[in-house]
Structure 1
Amino acid sequence: MNNSHLELLKKLAEEFQPRTDANTRATVETESTDAFATLVDLARDMQDRLDQQQNRIRQLEQLVETDELTGLYNRRGFLRRTREALSRAARQKDCGLLVIADLDGFKEINDFHGHAAGDAVLRHFGQNLRTHTRADDFVARFGGDEFAILMVGSNPDIAKPRIQDLEKATARFPLIWQGSGLPIRASFGFTIYTAQSDVTELLKNADSAMYANKHAKRSRTESNHNAA
């Protein structure tokens, strides 16, 4: 091979090398872009699946903590919210009210009008409680005809007037059942919670206050009846 042949091969090599590098870079860039797009799609798919799982978990938690009849919190959900409120009170040095409400004469409604009427009364009363409490308050049906309210951050100085207003408001509109009115009356009891409060003790104190109120109303009714 003479020098002219070598020069020709050299020139061909020089011309071929840039084209090869460019093609290689283009191929690598294309493959990299495709791989990145695939990773992005996988990441999005994983996030979608995670979001769906979290939504399912939230839905299950809501079902577990919701009273089926009234749509309010059940005892489990209410206790969780109460513990959260106590933790917040410890951090922020605030307080609030825990209220227990129990329907008066509910057994007679079930006995004389049937359980369907009793269920209607419970739903109606629960709706009244939710309507006449703040958005930040938590309302629950504990079971039977017993309800609970957590008034977060309520001022203890206005506790009694608030409970009295709530008692009047929830009894203001009796339920119309099959063309006749069913009375909805309830006895309320409350206790103030602070950062140092214990959930079990709070429920016990509010329950005792509620039964004291119920007994006092019954005594007044009997006294008025005897006086008449």
Structure 2
Amino acid sequence: MNNSHLELLKQLAEEFQPRTDANTRATVETESTDAFATLVDLARDMQSRLDQQQNRIRQLEQMVETDELTGLYNRRGFLRRTREAMARAARYKESGLLVIADLDGFKLINDHHGHAAGDAILRHFGQNLRTHTRADDFVARFGGDEFAILMVGSNPDVAEPRIRDLEKATLRFPLIWQGTALPIRASFGFTIYHANSDVTDLLKQADDAMYANKHAKRALPRNSHNAA
């Protein structure tokens, strides 16, 4: 190989090298852009799937914690919210009210007008409770004809009048069932919770107060009971 041949090869190498580097850079840049776009699409897809799963979890939690008949919280949901309120009370030194309400004469309604009327009474009473409590309060049907209300951050000094007002408001309007006015009657009991309150103790105290109220009304003469 003579010098002219070597010179030609050098020239070809010099011309080929820049061209190869440029092509390589272009290829890498193209592949990098495609890979980045793929990663973005993958991240968006994963986020979409995660959002769907979270929405599904929230829906399942709502189903598990909701009373099917009234649409209120059920016992499970109410207890969870109550424990959360207890934790908040401990953190911020808050207080509030836990209320138990039990319908009076509910069995007679079922016996005389049927279970469909009884279900309508439960829905009617539950809606009255929800309407006449604050948005921050939690209302639940505990089961049967027993309901519970957690009044978060309520002032204990006005507990008595507030419960009386709630009782009057929820019992004021009868349910019209197949042309017949079915009166709504219930007994209420409450207890005050503080930072160190125990949920089980609170429920027993409110339940005991409710039954004391119920028995006191039964002991009244019929005319007095009707007037109340």
Per the normalisation by structure 2, the TM-score is 0.94
Q: Tell me the residue number matched to 1:189.
A: 189
Pick which of 77-86 and 213-222 moved more. Answer: 213-222
Q: For residues 42-87 of structure 1, give each alpha carbon's deviation from its aligned partner in whole angstroms, at most 9, with x where no partner exists.
A: 2222222222222111111111111000000000110111111001
Q: Tell me the residue number matched to 2:169.
A: 169
Pick which of 177-186 and 210-219 moved more. Answer: 210-219
Matches of 1:4 and 1:181, distance apart in 2 = 117
Matches of 1:221 and 1:170, distance apart in 2 = 23
Say which SS state the counterpart of residue 188 (structure 2) adopts: strand
Counterpart of 2:54, as a letter, is Q
Counterpart of 1:14, as a letter, is E
Q: Tell me the residue number matched to 1:46.
A: 46
Q: For residues 132-173 of structure 1, give each alpha carbon's deviation from its aligned partner in whole angstroms, at most 9, with x where no partner exists.
A: 000000000001100000000000011111111100000111
Give the paired residue count: 225
Counterpart of 1:62, as a letter, is Q
Gaps of 5+ in 2: none
Matches of 2:12 and 2:221, distance apart in 1 = 115
Gaps of 5+ in 1: none
1:209 pairs with 2:172: no
Counterpart of 2:186, as a letter, is A
Say which SS state the counterpart of residue 215 (structure 1) adopts: helix
Q: For residues 111-130 of structure 1, give each alpha carbon's deviation from its aligned partner in whole angstroms, at most 9, with x where no partner exists.
A: 10000000000000000000
Q: Tell me the residue number matched to 1:29.
A: 29
Q: Tell me the residue number matched to 1:69.
A: 69
Pick which of 34-43 and 132-141 moved more. Answer: 34-43
Say which SS state the counterpart of residue 73 (structure 1) adopts: coil
Could you list the structure 1 runs, at least 4 aligned residues long, displaced by more than 3 angstroms after superposition.
221-225
Matches of 2:45 and 2:136, distance apart in 1 = 36
Matches of 1:56 and 1:98, distance apart in 2 = 31
Matches of 1:174 and 1:221, distance apart in 2 = 22
Matches of 2:114 and 2:72, distance apart in 1 = 23
How far off its partner does 1:194 sit? 0.7
Matches within 5 A, 1:83-94: 83-94=83-94
Q: Tell me the residue number matched to 2:120.
A: 120
How far off its partner does 1:108 sit? 0.9
Q: For residues 188-223 of structure 1, give each alpha carbon's deviation from its aligned partner in whole angstroms, at most 9, with x where no partner exists.
A: 100000111111110000011111111222222347
Matches of 2:129 and 2:223, distance apart in 1 = 30
Percent sequence identity is: 88
Q: For residues 21-49 of structure 1, give each alpha carbon's deviation from its aligned partner in whole angstroms, at most 9, with x where no partner exists.
A: 11100101111111122222222222222
Say which SS state the counterpart of residue 195 (structure 1) adopts: coil
Matches of 2:148 and 2:67, distance apart in 1 = 12
Matches of 2:211 and 2:12, distance apart in 1 = 104
Matches of 2:200 and 2:59, distance apart in 1 = 28
Per the normalisation by structure 1, the TM-score is 0.94
